[in-house]
């Protein structure tokens, strides 16, 4: 344990204030790169060392497992012995842990299953089929999103019906929501949203349970408070109501998850909810140069819905923020990648460079150019380990061995590997289960009573005997031994080995990694058991992406701005800085200023990821939604004070560019930033066209259409075609390679 001087020694004035402010509500407004994690962890250490607070009276809530792990490691190094008694976990993990002890008070078995996105989708398919709902009118994804939003706002099916049920669609969604929740309960399952909802339900219905945890967690800290939704706000408010020692940390300028249900007003109105709250602003930045911060301050100052703060640093002034406007998105990508190559040749490692963009679709061209230069790269947010097919299959086996109440897990493995049990048999079993109010597995064990499955009876008996065998085996063996036994009996591994493809080899490696994970769990836990292991792993399905990247990987990282939050890089390339791209077209057309403000906060997040250099770029011409569009550069560029912006000018001549099947790849160089001008390019025109207005023509991608207009330009013919499948498109004749269709 460190003494108090050690705890505060490396903190600035505002950080120390936050550490010393231990009693009553506290809002810590922590700007980007201002050391909020340090402030939080040192505050925890101070509570224990100086204030004598018991570690088990402290609860720290984060949004991701990675953040919780980082906080845990820092607290351990500061506090030492006893730190293991501090609860440091995500919202979902905290709720899961408490519900495992008390959910029986809500009519659930404590051994409940947590459904991930894939499980939810499967269940929703069943619900819609059972209710004979037209999925064209009510797409699964749309309905699930609607229900998730309702849960984020702490609205039950009845609440949803009363508030939104004035039209037919919302009435049906309310019906689906009600049926979906009923089926979840029948499966003794919760989805991720339910973990929070049921926690609030538990506390509101059981004051004695609430008071127990209020007494347990007398000091509560919440990280990334700007990302909380309504149900999270309710949960935190309930827990903190008795002692009111609530410290929330966040930055309203980095609230970018409205689409996930985040409510920025939780942080903006904190002082209204807690009138006696103290507010401490952390404005000293330890990440970026002052020029980068000046750019960020200039942009975000245009938002009205924010709390005033201004980032500053003792770091060097640094380079000006670079901005270059290219003629096309191809040229933009070429320019970005050329700069990356230039920096690399001067000793900058690839891993110190990141390309950020507003939408996933923008990555394609950057990828293409990186491949052309043989520059290694990785796209953040791949398929997470526990979402891979082979892992989900084996985890389902383990879940069924542990508990047969999870219908989806049973259905997943009943014919994996294939054992001749088809969908018709599964449907008959499901109907029997619903009719007799039993689990799907119970229906399997009672298959003799279902005449419709007579042909598959022997196979069902064999499956039931196998599951019973696994359960008996699990009583006397460790989890790793059980998994090995499952792989052996089912021949799951043998089939992959026989396949012998690159994909099967990769899957075998994943299975070995699962064994590694289990081995680590069995080694670290005092009382390792299957149930607790499954409960722990249920939490990891939310955390795909950057956590999976190896630190030693020397690759340029590509990611959306949303995925970049919380990360930092020496060199950042932010592309697509155009009106209609960033800010997005939808935000611009909404007429809602709050939508533009959310886009501006996203821009602020992007800018503040950069430590040393920031490169902004745009394209005058870009393919959007299948159409070539000419875009003005983003308003966010104009909002950066000119004193901090280096705009690349262009005075050189252009070189001839050869015709190609795709949009022109313009020469990258000193002249690339010049505003688009057709006469600048010397491409041979298509010559006399073999078609005219009114003719039917065929395009290799868009199919057949009718020529509407032909305009002769300085370098080529511009042809407008009304295609039968995709509507009207404009294109240059040289690139379109249209062929006349003879009827």
Q: Which residues are catalytic?
A: 36-37, 223-224, 254, 609
Task: Output DSSP code: residue 361.
Answer: G
Is the Cβ–Cβ distance between 604 and 296 less than 8 Å?
A: yes
SS3 135: coil
CA nearest to 720, candidates 142, 712, 114: 712
Q: At what angle do helices 593-607 and 290-300 cross, to 10 degrees?
A: 180
**Cβ neighbours of residue 77 under 8 Å, at least 6 residues apart?**
none
Q: Residues with Cβ < 8 Å from 361, sequence gap 6 or more?
A: none
**Gap between the Cα atoms of 415 and 444, Å rounded:** 13
**Rounded to whole angstroms, what are the CA distances from 104 to 101, 160, 206, 216, 326?**
8, 25, 12, 21, 62
Count CB-CB contacts under 10 A for residue 632. 13
Helices (H), 478-592: 479-490, 492-499, 502-524, 530-538, 561-564, 585-589
Q: What are 48's two structure tokens? A: 């224990």
Is-contact 358 581, C-beta < 8 A?
Answer: yes
Residues 6 or more apart whose CB falls under 8 angstroms from that of 357 comprise 363, 366, 558, 559, 560, 561, 574, 575, 576
CB of 72 closer than 8 Å to CB of 336: no
Cα 32 → chain centroid: 20
- DSSP class of residue 580 equals B
Helices (H), 582-657: 585-589, 593-607, 635-638
The total of other beta-carbon atoms located within 10 Å of residue 498's CB is: 9
Contact 305, 264 (CB under 8 A): yes
User: Which tokens in the block code for residue 271?
Assistant: 């002082």
The answer to whether 72 touches 173, Cβ cutoff 8 Å, is no
CB 219: neighbour CB atoms within 10 A? 23
Facing residues of 730 across strands?
Answer: 720
Cβ neighbours of 124 (radius 10 Å): 23
Q: In angstroms, what CA-CA distances link 216 with 27, 45, 81, 440?
A: 22, 18, 19, 40
Contact 191, 197 (CB under 8 A): no
């Amino acid at each position: 344990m460190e003494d108090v001087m050690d705890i505060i020694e490396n903190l600035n004035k505002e950080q120390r204030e936050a550490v010393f402010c231990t009693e009553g509500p506290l809002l810590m407004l922590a700007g980007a790169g201002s050391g909020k994690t340090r402030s939080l962890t040192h505050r925890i250490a101070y509570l224990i060392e100086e204030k004598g607070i018991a570690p088990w009276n402290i609860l720290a809530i984060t949004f991701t497992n990675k953040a919780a792990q980082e906080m845990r490691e820092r607290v351990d190094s500061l506090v030492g012995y006893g730190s293991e008694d501090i609860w440091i976990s995500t919202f979902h993990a905290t709720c899961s842990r408490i519900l495992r002890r008390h959910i029986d008070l809500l009519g659930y078995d404590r051994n409940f299953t947590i459904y991930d996105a894939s499980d939810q989708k499967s269940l929703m398919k069943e619900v819609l089929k059972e209710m004979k709902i037209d999925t064209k009118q009510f797409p699964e994804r749309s309905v699930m999103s609607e229900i998730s939003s309702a849960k984020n706002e702490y609205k039950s099916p009845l609440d949803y019906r009363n508030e939104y049920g004035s039209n037919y669609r919302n009435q049906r969604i309310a019906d689906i929501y009600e049926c979906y929740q009923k089926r979840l309960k029948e499966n003794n399952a919760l989805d991720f949203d339910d973990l929070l909802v049921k926690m609030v339900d538990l506390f509101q219905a059981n004051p004695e349970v609430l008071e127990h945890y209020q007494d347990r967690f007398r000091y509560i800290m919440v990280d990334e408070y700007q990302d909380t939704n309504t149900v999270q706000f309710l949960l935190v408010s309930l827990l903190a109501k008795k002692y009111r020692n609530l410290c929330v940390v966040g930055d309203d300028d980095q609230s970018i998850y409205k689409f996930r249900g985040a409510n920025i007003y939780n942080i903006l109105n904190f002082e209204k909810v807690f009138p006696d709250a103290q507010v401490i602003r952390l404005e000293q930045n330890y990440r970026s140069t002052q020029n980068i911060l000046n750019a960020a301050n200039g942009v975000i100052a245009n938002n009205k819905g924010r709390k005033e703060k201004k980032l500053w640093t003792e770091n060097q002034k640094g380079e000006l923020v670079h901005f270059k406007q290219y003629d096309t998105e191809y040229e933009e990508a070429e320019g970005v990648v050329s700069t990356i190559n230039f920096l690399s040749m001067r000793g900058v490692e690839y891993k110190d460079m990141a390309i950020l963009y507003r939408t996933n679709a923008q990555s394609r061209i950057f990828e293409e150019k990186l491949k052309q230069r043989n520059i290694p790269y990785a796209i953040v947010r791949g398929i997470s380990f526990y979402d891979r097919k082979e892992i989900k299959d084996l985890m389902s086996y383990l879940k069924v061995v542990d508990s047969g109440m999870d219908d989806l897990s049973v259905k997943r493995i009943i014919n994996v590997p294939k054992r001749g049990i088809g969908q018709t048999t599964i449907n008959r079993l499901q109907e029997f289960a619903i009719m007799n109010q039993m689990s799907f597995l119970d229906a399997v064990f009672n298959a003799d009573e279902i005449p419709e499955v007579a042909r598959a009876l022997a196979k069902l008996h064999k499956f039931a005997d196998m599951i019973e065998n696994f359960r008996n085996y699990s009583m006397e063996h460790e989890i790793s031994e059980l998994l090995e036994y499952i792989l052996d009996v089912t021949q799951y591994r043998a089939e992959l080995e026989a396949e012998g493809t690159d994909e099967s080899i990769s899957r075998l490696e994943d299975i070995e990694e699962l064994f590694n994970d289990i081995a680590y769990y069995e080694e670290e836990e005092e009382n390792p058991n299957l149930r607790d292991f499954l409960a722990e792993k249920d939490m990891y399905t939310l955390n795909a992406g950057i956590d999976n990247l190896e630190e030693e990987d020397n690759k340029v990282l590509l990611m959306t701005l949303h995925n970049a939050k919380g990360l930092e890089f020496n060199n950042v390339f932010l592309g697509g800085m155009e009106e209609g791209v960033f800010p997005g077209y939808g935000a611009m057309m909404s007429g809602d200023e709050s939508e533009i403000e959310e886009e501006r906060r996203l821009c602020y997040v992007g800018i503040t990821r950069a430590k040393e250099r920031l490169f902004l770029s745009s394209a005058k011409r870009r393919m959007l939604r299948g159409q070539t569009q000419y875009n003005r550069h983003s308003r966010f560029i104009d909002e950066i004070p000119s004193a901090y912006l280096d705009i690349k000018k262009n005075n050189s001549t252009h070189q001839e560019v050869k015709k190609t099947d795709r949009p022109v790849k313009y020469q990258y160089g000193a002249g690339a930033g010049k505003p688009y001008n057709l006469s600048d390019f010397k491409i041979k025109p298509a010559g006399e066209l073999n078609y005219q207005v009114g003719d039917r023509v065929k395009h290799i991608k868009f199919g057949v259409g009718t020529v509407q207009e032909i305009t002769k330009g300085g370098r080529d013919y511009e042809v407008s075609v009304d295609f039968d499948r995709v509507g009207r498109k404009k294109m240059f004749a040289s690139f379109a390679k249209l062929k006349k269709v003879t009827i």
